Amino acid sequence: MFRSVTIGQHIPGDSIIHRLDPRTKILSALALIVLLFVIDGFVGYGLAALAIALVVRASKIPGRFVLRGIRPLMVILVLTLALHLFMTDGRVIFQFLFLKVTWEGLIRGLLMGTRLILLIIGTSMLTLTTSPMQLTDGIETLLRPGKRIGIPAHELAMMMTIALRFIPTLLEETEKIMKAQMARGADFQSGGLMQRAKSLIPLLVPLFVNAFRRADDLAIAMEARGYRGGEGRTKLRELQFQQHDRIALILVAAFSILMGLLF
Amino acid sequence: MSQAALRNVSLEIEDGELVGIIGPTGSGKSTLIQHFNGLLKPDSGKVFVDGVDLTLKDTQLRLIRQKVGMVFQYPEHQLFGETVLEDVGFGPRNIGLSDEDVIQRVREALAYVGLDFEAIKDKSPFELSGGQKRRVAIAGVLAMRPSVLVLDEPTAGLDPEGREEILAEISQLHNDGITVVLVTHSMEDIARLATRLIVMDRGTVALDGTPVEVFREVARLRELGLGVPEITELMHELKARGLDVRTDILTVPEAEEEIIRVMGWRK
C-alpha cells in the first residue's frame, strides 16, 4: 500500500553535482532562494533558468525526475496565476462579467509562476543529488558556529537523522495496524469527513503508542552504546571542502552578486 | 523485477480443522494467511471462503472478515480504546450491532480468553500486563464471532504460563467447533494441538499432512532450518543408538509409554 512512497527522493549518482560537498550545495541553494526573490523581470529569470538548467544537465538526473517535483505544487501554481490574473488593476485585455484580465496581471502572474517553478527545481536539485545522511551532516556542520548562541546543531541533526530513518518503519507499522483494524471491520475509505476523521482513531492511537514505545527503546539502546550527545563526538568521515567546492562557491557567489546588481 | 511471494499454493481447509502453518522466516506464511480474509488478493489464482470467491470485485469483504477472524503478530500493538469494553467492542460496533448486543459479545469474548468482564471492562487496555493485553486483543477478534480463526504467532514474546493459557484457549475454541489456522515457530505447541500441518518453504507448500506424517520427515525439516519437537528428536536418537522405539511420537506421555513398552518395564 505504501511501498511506492519514496522519501527524500534522493537519486544516487556520480556526477560532479553529486560529488560536491553538501555544504556547498546547501549554501548554493540558499543563494538561489535569495536571488530568486531579489531579481525581477523576465531577463533575470531567464538567466537564472539557464543557470539551473546547466546544473540539472551536469547532475545527469533525468528531466522527468526534476519535473516530478512540480506536480504536487500544480494547484498552488494555478492558483497563483489565477489570483494575479484577475486581481491586478491595469490595462484590461478582456472582461467577462465582473472578472477582468489585465496586462499587468498577466505579467505578474507569469513572473510569480516562473519564480515558484525555478524555486522548486533549484532546491530539488539539492535533495535529488544529496543523500539524507549527507544533508544532515552538512546542516550540522553549517550550524556548528551557531552553538555559541544556543543552536543545538548536533541534536537537530541527530533528530533529523532519526526521523528519516524511522519513516519507512512507521509506514510499515501503519499498514500493519490498518490491516488489523480492517480485519475487525474498520472502514477507512467511506463516509463523510467527520466519519473518516473518526475512523482514523483506531489507526492513530496505536501508531503513536508504538512510536513512543519505540522511541524509549531507541533512547535506551543509544545510551547503552555510550551516546552522550554531541559533546566531544568525532566523525568517521569529516566533511572536507575540495578544490571543486571552492570553484563552485566562487561561481555561485559571482553569479548571484552580478544578477543581484543587474536585475 | 518483483518476485512472487507465493507460487502454486493449493490448499483446502475443512471446517473444524486445527491447521498449523510452519516454515522458516520469509517462507510466505504471513502472506498466505492474509489471503484468507481478503487483506491481500492474489495476482493470479482464486481464494474461496465457504464457496465465496474473494478475488471477485463485488465480494463483500466485510462479511468475509467477520467470518474469518485474524489475529496478527503482537496483536496488543493494535489496541486503541479508552476502555477494554470500547476496544473489544470495536468489531461488533463496526458490524452495526446495538449497544446491548455489543456488550453481550464483549462479555462472551472476554470469557473465552479467561478474563472477568466486570473486573476489566472499564480499565484502560494500556494499564494491563503484557499477557492480559494480548488476550484483550484476541478477544477483540473473537467478538466478531468468527467461524474461522487465523492466528499469527499468538504466543510470541509471552512467558511460559502465558503461552500455556493462550494455547489452552485456542484448543478450547477448536473444541467448540471453530476452525483454527495457527502460524507458529514452536514445534512443541503445534505438535500437541494441530490436526494437520502445512510446511511452507520459499512461497510453496513443502509438506502437508498430519503432525505424525510431517514430523517423520526429519531430514527434510532440518534442511529447511526447522526442527521437530524435542521429544520426537529424542526418539529418533534412541532409535539411532539401537533401541527399537517408534519415532512417530510427539508428546512426552506417549514417549514415556513407548519407552516403558520397549524396555519391558512395568508401571
Hey, which of A185-194, A231-240, B219-228 has the most confident mean pLDDT? Answer: B219-228
From the list A151, A122, A141, A158, the residue with the least C-alpha distance to A22 is A141
Regarding an ipTM greater than 0.95, the answer is no
**pLDDT tens, B9-49?**
999 999 999 999 999 888 899 999 999 998 999 988 999 99
Q: What CATH number should be reported for the domain holding residue B143? A: 3.40.50.300
Q: Is residue B219 part of a domain?
A: no
Chain A contact set for B140 (CB, 8 A): 184
Cβ of B77 within 8 Å of Cβ of A210? The answer is yes
d(CA A181, CA B119): 25
Q: A186 at the B interface (CB within 8 A)? A: yes
Q: Is residue A140 part of a domain?
A: no
**pLDDT-based confidence at B254, cuts 50/70/90?**
confident
Q: Is residue B161 part of a domain?
A: yes
Q: Is residue B79 part of a domain?
A: yes
Which domain range does residue B51 map to? 18-203
**pLDDT tens, B175-198?**
999 999 999 988 888 888 899 999
- A120/A195 same-domain check: no
Q: Is residue A185 part of a domain?
A: yes
Choose the closest CB to A206 out of B77, B94, B141. B77
Q: Is residue B212 part of a domain?
A: no
> In this structure, are strands B68-71 and B52-53 parallel, antiparallel, or unpaired?
unpaired
Cβ of B72 within 8 Å of Cβ of A184? The answer is no
Annotate B67-96 with b (16+ C-beta within 10 A) or e (fewer). Answer: bbbbbbebbbbbbbbeebbbbbbbbbbbbe
Residue A92: per-residue pLDDT: 77
- A118/A4 same-domain check: yes
The number of domains in chain A is: 2
Which residue blocks in chain A are alpha helix, DSSP H? 16-19, 22-38, 42-59, 63-68, 74-87, 103-129, 132-143, 153-183, 193-199, 201-224, 243-262
Residue B171: per-residue pLDDT: 93
Residue B63: per-residue pLDDT: 86
The number of domains in chain B is: 1
Q: Is residue B155 part of a domain?
A: yes
DSSP-based three-state secondary structure for B154: coil
How many pairs of residues across A and B have Cβ atoms under 8 Å apart? 57
Side by side, which strands form the sheet with B18-22? B68-71, B148-152, B179-183, B18-22, B196-201, B204-209
Please, are residues B69 and A172 in contact by the beta-carbon 8 Å criterion? no
DSSP-based three-state secondary structure for B267: coil
Which domain range does residue A95 map to? 1-130+236-263
| CA distance, residue B206 to nearest chain A CA (Å) | 27
Number of DSSP helices (H) and strands (E) in chain B, helices first: 13, 8
- A3/A117 same-domain check: yes
Annotate A77-101 with b (16+ C-beta within 10 A) or e (fewer). Answer: beebbeebbeebeeeeeeeeeeebb
- A172/A262 same-domain check: no
Which position has the grid cell 510569480?
A: A112
Residue B116: per-residue pLDDT: 92
- Closest-approach residue (CA) in chain A for B64: A183
